[in-house]
Amino acid sequence: MRNYTIPQDLMARFHGTIVQFDGQPVYVSVAGNKWHLYKPSTVHKAAPIILHKNMDPYDERMDISSLPMGYVNIPKFKTVRYVTRRPMKKFQQGINSDVLSVLPLPDTTDNEYFSNQDILYMQEFEDCVTGIYPDLL
């Protein structure tokens, strides 16, 4: 879905959220009427990877529709979490930790805790959005 938001709303709607650009999840940082797009799994690291600088928010490759979410395989911990967007009346369009819901699988025996913030900024979440599901074995 193309972005037709008026420029005054860009900061409130998209800053600090994850949307898709050219089929890949990206973290949006709004600077005036331009967007800086980062690789989500590197946002909280010392040197975040910037994918695109000074992007036009109306670029046809920008997709602000809901991200495809579901099961997130986390091979390091040999576990799976189910992620979904909670239906909330919020002004923000993209995904952030406030609207993300992380659930363990039913009948799971692992006690690992993953917060919304943990999952949202993992490479495994990016893999989930793009349809890559690594084996847990």
Separation between Cα atoms, residue 102 and residue 97, nearest integer Å: 10
Under a CB-based contact definition with an 8 Å cutoff, are residues 37 and 50 in contact? Answer: yes
Question: What average pLDDT score do residues 73-101 get?
Answer: 86
Hey, where are the domains in the chain? Answer: 7-63, 71-130
Q: Is the pLDDT of residue 5 over 80?
A: no
Separation between Cα atoms, residue 24 and residue 45, nearest integer Å: 19
Q: What is the predicted pLDDT for the residue at 137?
A: 60
Question: How far is residue 130 from each of residues 25, 83, 121, measured CA to CA in Å?
Answer: 8, 14, 14
Q: Is the pLDDT of residue 92 over 60?
A: yes
Record the pTM. 0.86
Give every strand in the sheet of 50-55, ordered side by side. 50-55, 34-38, 24-31, 18-21, 62-63
pLDDT greater at residue 47 or residue 93: 47
Separation between Cα atoms, residue 17 and residue 37, nearest integer Å: 10
Q: What is the predicted pLDDT for the residue at 42?
A: 95
